[in-house]
Chain A
Amino acid sequence: MKMVRAIIRPEKEKQVVEALDKNGYSSMTKMHIFGRGKQKGIQVGPIVYDELPKILLMIVAKDEDISKIVNLIESNARTGNIGDGKIFISEVDEVYTIRTGNKEL
């Protein structure tokens, strides 16, 4: 099992979620977060925005599904401009479903 954490633009959230849903990956957790990247936020005229609102999507899936999920997020969250976000993938040792207590997604 692996965990995908994608930090995306809030305006792209719906498109990404719908694309994932259509391809059978309906389970995910969404968080509203603030972040900045290499460019240290954004400057509009004299005003510097240090922390930009982003959406973090957290998806845990089987190893073989990860590349497809990443591709879907990438293609749907991309605008080509700075601030499209990042995708992080990390290892998950165990997964439990609370309702059944089983070790499965």
Chain B
Amino acid sequence: MKEIVAIIRRQKLHETKTALDGLGFSPMSILSVSGRGKQKGFIGEVDPVMDEFMLDEADVDVRFIPKRLISIVADDADVPEIVETIIKTNNTGYPGDGKIFVLPITDAIRIRTSEIGLSAIK
């Protein structure tokens, strides 16, 4: 089992969800996060809808850009397909497209039924 953590642009979230839905990987957790990369929060890349807090921060050296983090726990065999789909839907060619991390998960438990392992995430 692996956890796929993808940090993507917030405008691309809906598209990513639709694309993953189509493949049958609908379960996921979504978090609103802020992030920065090698470009140290390149402000020109940011979408125009920035709240006041973000604009305040933009004057400072430390810049964070609003992003969405999606976390999907999947079977090892499904990982390449999910990763490929996320890359395909989110690729714009400009800095700020995001990163995907694949982390090992040792176990999963469905709380409702106490199922353990793969049957808990299927």
Contact = CB atoms under 8 A, between A and B. Distances in A.
Contact of B93 (A93, A96, A99, A105): A99
Interface size class of A (residues with CB under 8 A): 20 to 34
B104 A95 contact: no
Chain B interface mostly helix, strand, loop or mixed? mixed
B52 to A, nearest CB: 16
Contacts of B18: none
Given A14-B62, A101-B91, A26 B37 contact: yes
Interface of B: 2, 6-8, 31, 33-38, 40, 60-62, 64, 67, 69, 79, 83, 86-87, 90-104
A98 B35 contact: no
Given A18-B61, A28-B35, A29-B35, A93 B102 contact: yes
A91 B105 CA distance: 10
Interface in A21-39: 21, 26-31
Interface of A: 1, 3, 14, 17-18, 21, 26-31, 58, 60, 90-99, 101, 105
Given A92-B101, A98-B86, A105-B99, A29 B34 contact: yes
B83 A93 contact: no
B7 A29 contact: yes
